[in-house]
Amino acid sequence: MTAEIISVGTELLLGEITNTNSQYLAEQLAHLGIAHYYQNVVGDNKERIAQVIDIAINRGARILIFTGGLGPTPDDLTTAAIAEYFQTPLVENQEILANISQKFAERSLPMSNNNCKQALLPEGAQILPNPKGTAPGIIWHVRSNLLLLTFPGVPYEMMAMWQQTAIPYLKKLGWGKQVIHSKMLRFLGIGESTLAAKIAPFFELKEPTVAPYVSKGEVRLRISAKASSEKRANELIEPVAEQIKAIAGLDYYGCDEDTISSVVGNLLLQSKQTISIAESCTGGALGELITSTAGSSLYFQGGFITYANQCKINLLGVNPKTIEEYGAVSKQVALEMAKGAVEKTNSDWAISITGIAGPSGGKSSKPVGLVYIGIANQREILKSFEYKFGSNKDRQTIRQLSASGALDQLRRLLIEQKRP
Amino acid sequence: MTAEIISVGTELLLGEITNTNSQYLAEQLAHLGIAHYYQNVVGDNKERIAQVIDIAINRGARILIFTGGLGPTPDDLTTAAIAEYFQTPLVENQEILANISQKFAERSLPMSNNNCKQALLPEGAQILPNPKGTAPGIIWHVRSNLLLLTFPGVPYEMMAMWQQTAIPYLKKLGWGKQVIHSKMLRFLGIGESTLAAKIAPFFELKEPTVAPYVSKGEVRLRISAKASSEKRANELIEPVAEQIKAIAGLDYYGCDEDTISSVVGNLLLQSKQTISIAESCTGGALGELITSTAGSSLYFQGGFITYANQCKINLLGVNPKTIEEYGAVSKQVALEMAKGAVEKTNSDWAISITGIAGPSGGKSSKPVGLVYIGIANQREILKSFEYKFGSNKDRQTIRQLSASGALDQLRRLLIEQKRP
């Protein structure tokens, strides 16, 4: 009993988007213990979609998972192609129609005839509700040994539908009895090869397995085990996680859904302290990162985006002479920015960032990727940190690394402060 | 004469990596004018690889492009599977063997027997050299109407091989004489179905074709034409683009690499005006969006992230009574924030955002997704805009839509100002 993933969309064939949906679904199928041996990409074309369905069924697939082609426009053909292949009429579902009308009404938008198409389901199919958008999918037991699931191509809609409806449905059918469970450990301020060298023996383990990943400046280790339950898998995972955490020390910052933003937020909540910020080259990215955590209003006061030097002087009270003498991208300006933010907002802590995000503006003494971070509190702490992210990095990456690096430095200070 | 992409690797079936290779190759094929209608992913399994080859040939593919499974380990089976399928013996290629030995010697690494496997080619196949790694690929004209190309799965190796050898080879075969060229039109402030209804007849066109896309709150239309040159393709595309732009009016904001940030930036540069901002619920996302455009320091002064009400009062001069009477999420507070930012920074324009990004904090009178945008200039303009993004949207999406919506409103005002 195997599954196949069928991604529908001419934009995939033209290379306009990356097929992240297949990766997500593949990982999810592995978690549930559902084998799948093939993935397919096909354009918005009824005959070719039918052909792919035919091939998948002929080579033994009993669960077909479609993404894409559920939208309101004429090139969205997945549902129609499926109905035609199984020679089943499409019927208008009143519940979906009412639901779509309501969503349009809520947003005071006119509903077009195109949207009505999204209410058509093959006779006998159930709705796979879409809590995040207008296009619902279907769950259709075409026959006892053939199940079809359809999802829109928009990743966050697809994922919400998978989590809320598809997983419980598949579990009710008996899947997910052997689970592959993972824990993701997250690290900042250490490179992949350095961390890998420190924990080399763990990569040889068979149960659980340990695998490294790198993205956006953070290193992650995934510890995975296959067992009869999540609890049993965790009993295999946890001792290994604890050993690795002990080796990594402060470079380990959190696990699973933790982000550097949520971890720093929790530390601030625990110590009942508040924070403000002063950003230059990141232009708002640090504030956005902090406030990406829901509930951040409990500790985040606000801050200043001082892109122009005049703003640094007028809004934060940076001394014009400091800028003249050391340049806007300097340790000294970072410190005065942080100090200014603490004073103006009366927060417990402030973080500042000033640097050269590029692509232009670099010179040999101050290359693109040079970033200074300042941290101040109301009392004795006034620290700066220099980062050289490398001039081969792009603007967006340098800004992201600066924002997460700044929060990571505050995290280390907050943990040190807690120590007796 | 169509191509198929066949990605080989059990790691793809487990969802451990994203299939970026398929996207890259798909885009490359489109540029060369080589049609492809299907993509395949299959595990490291000889029988299944053979089956995929069989299906591809049967549905008319004449160029098969493989990625993955060329490495030195026992699970790398692509070459062997291909040779077996075509009943052709594998022969050791001395050139490859010498090349691999040399690469190991250069890095003072021992060479294992496994690596010798990488020197085996199906009889009659040529080497597709790999300048970036040990595993070369093959170029194999199995018969006059069937060409096979294999690449390793490592993206930068695959891309270097594609650029250096595959493209010149395919061009010598006569490909690339017809190119598919596209122009992407970008729209904000209009839904996909509404725009689709307005320009419905264009979807029927055959040359160029018009197809809609949606992401992150913006609708895009891709106009594509196949022609003997990019210039000729553009001659087909441009008249259609102009007609659509005329129908869409102000809802059209830019094309191709334009972003709402770069478009507003250009309008400000043209009019030699500056901007500042005041953000609440977006927490920095608007500033980040504006400064994602390189060179934004020429018009972006800076701004205020006033998450706490006290910051709105202290930093921007919002009247505490306004907050008390109308709430922090109100048209009135948005207007006072924008006015405060213009005054404090002395910029020509200011944009403010205050809203409820969720997931909590919503109530029936002010639901999650309710956002007010304020725009002020130094003279007569002081406007507010209400958005209802819908409480089913997640925090991050509401914040992104708010930031791009705010810039879109400024764009419309700047264009109106320019009109005589």
**Mean pLDDT, rounded, for A267-284:** 97
Quick check: A260 pLDDT over 80? Answer: yes
pLDDT score of A138: 96
Same fold, A2-172 and A179-255: no
Check CB contact of A57 with chain B, cutoff 8 Å: no
Contacts of B310 in chain A (CB under 8 A): 301
Quick check: B3 pLDDT over 80? Answer: yes
User: Closest approach of chain A CAs to the CA of B370, in angstroms?
Assistant: 10
Least confident range from A97-101, A105-109, A344-348: namely: A105-109
Quick check: B73 pLDDT over 80? Answer: no
User: Closest approach of chain B CAs to the CA of A320, in angstroms?
Assistant: 16
Taking CA B205 as the corner, what is the angle to CA B201 and CA B210, rounded to the nearest 5 degrees? 85
**Mean pLDDT, rounded, for A353-375:** 94
pLDDT score of B90: 95
Give which of A154, A115, A116, A122 is closest to A53, Cα–Cα.
A122
Nearest CA in chain A to B286: A284
Band the pLDDT of A176: cuts 50, 70, 90: confident
Band the pLDDT of A387: cuts 50, 70, 90: very high
- Cis amide bond preceding B136, omega within 30: no
**Mean pLDDT, rounded, for B288-315:** 96
What share of chain B in percent tops pLDDT 90?
77
pLDDT score of A267: 98
Q: Which of B212, B286, B395 sits opposite A294 (nearest CB)?
A: B395
Nearest CA in chain B to A154: B215
Q: pLDDT tens digit string along A53-82? A: 999 999 999 999 999 999 888 888 999 999
Q: Which of A158, A288, A352 to mutate to test the interface with B (most CBs of B within 10 A)?
A: A288
Q: pLDDT tens digit string along B170-228? A: 999 988 888 888 899 999 999 988 999 999 999 999 999 998 888 778 999 999 998 88
State ipTM. 0.79
Band the pLDDT of A33: cuts 50, 70, 90: confident
Provide the β-strand partners of residue B277.
B303, B351
Is B334:B370 a contact under the CB 8 Å cutoff?
A: no
Is B10:A38 a contact under the CB 8 Å cutoff?
A: no
- Cis amide bond preceding A208, omega within 30: yes
Quick check: A229 pLDDT over 90? Answer: no
CATH 3.90.950.20 matches B260-418:
yes
Least confident range from A343-357, B104-118, B296-310: namely: B104-118
pLDDT score of A193: 78
Q: Which of B20, B42, B193, B396 to mutate to test the interface with A (most CBs of A within 10 A)?
A: B193
Q: Which of A27, A110, A306 sits opposite B194 (nearest CB)?
A: A110
Contacts of B302 in chain A (CB under 8 A): 304-308, 311, 315
Quick check: B74 pLDDT over 80? Answer: no
CB atoms within 10 A of CB B396: 16
Is A305:A327 a contact under the CB 8 Å cutoff?
A: no
Number of residues written out for chain B? 420
Quick check: B28 pLDDT over 80? Answer: yes
**Mean pLDDT, rounded, for A238-242:** 98
pLDDT score of A288: 97
User: Closest approach of chain B CAs to the CA of A420, in angstroms?
Assistant: 32
- Helix/strand/coil for A28: helix
pLDDT score of A419: 82
Check CB contact of A327 with chain B, cutoff 8 Å: no
pLDDT score of A113: 75
Give which of A167, A95, A102 is closest to A136, Cα–Cα.
A95
pLDDT score of A115: 78
pLDDT score of A146: 97
Enter the CATH code of domain A179-255.
3.30.70.2860
Q: Which residues contact A213 (CB under 8 A, 6 or more apart)?
A: A219, A220, A221, A222
Quick check: A222 pLDDT over 90? Answer: no
Inter-chain residue contact A73 with B292, CB threshold 8 Å: no
**Mean pLDDT, rounded, for B88-96:** 92
Q: Is the pLDDT higher at A418 or at A334?
A: A334
Quick check: A107 pLDDT over 80? Answer: no
CB pairs under 8 A between A and B: 277
Inter-chain residue contact B307 with A285, CB threshold 8 Å: no
For B2-172, which CATH superfamily applies? MoaB/Mog-like domain (3.40.980.10)
Nearest CA in chain A to B393: A132
Quick check: B420 pLDDT over 80? Answer: no
Task: Provide the mean pLDDT of chain B.
Answer: 93
Owner of token pair 């993972």 = A182
**Mean pLDDT, rounded, for A210-226:** 84
pLDDT score of B250: 97
**Mean pLDDT, rounded, for A337-361:** 96
Q: Which of B16, B29, B302 sits opposite A307 (nearest CB)?
A: B302
Q: Which of A17, A19, A302 sits opposite B308 (nearest CB)?
A: A302
Contacts of B196 in chain A (CB under 8 A): 72-74, 112, 114
Q: Kindly state the greatest CA–CA separation across chain A.
A: 79
Quick check: B146 pLDDT over 90? Answer: yes
Contacts of A211 in chain B (CB under 8 A): 16
Nearest CA in chain B to A133: B392
Q: Which of residues 340-379 of B touch A (CB under 8 A)?
A: 344-345, 358-360
Instruction: Dig out the tokens for B261 from the structure.
Output: 């940030």
**Mean pLDDT, rounded, for A77-101:** 93
pLDDT score of A121: 93
Give me Rg for the CA atoms of chain B.
28
Band the pLDDT of A295: cuts 50, 70, 90: very high
Quick check: B109 pLDDT over 90? Answer: no
- What are the structural domain ranges in chain B? 2-172, 179-255, 260-418
Quick check: B114 pLDDT over 80? Answer: no
Band the pLDDT of B100: cuts 50, 70, 90: confident
Give the side-chain half-sphere CA count within 13 A for A44.
19
Q: Which of A11, A74, A284 sits opposite B203 (nearest CB)?
A: A74
Q: Which residues contact B201 (CB under 8 A, 6 or more apart)?
A: none
Contacts of A291 in chain B (CB under 8 A): 281-284, 307, 399
Q: pLDDT tens digit string along A137-152? A: 999 999 999 999 999 9
**Mean pLDDT, rounded, for A157-169:** 96
What share of chain A in percent tops pLDDT 90?
74
Quick check: A112 pLDDT over 80? Answer: no
Q: What are the CA-CA distances from residue A277 to residues A31, A128, A349 (Å)?
A: 41, 44, 8
Is A170:A176 a contact under the CB 8 Å cutoff?
A: yes
Check CB contact of A61 with chain B, cutoff 8 Å: no
- Whether the pTM exceeds 0.95: the reply is no
Quick check: A284 pLDDT over 90? Answer: yes
pLDDT score of A378: 93
Provide the β-strand partners of residue B350.
B276, B376
- How far is it, in rounded angstroms, from Cα A183 to Cα A209? 11
Indicate if the alpha-carbon torsion angle A256, A260, A265, A270 is positive or negative.
positive
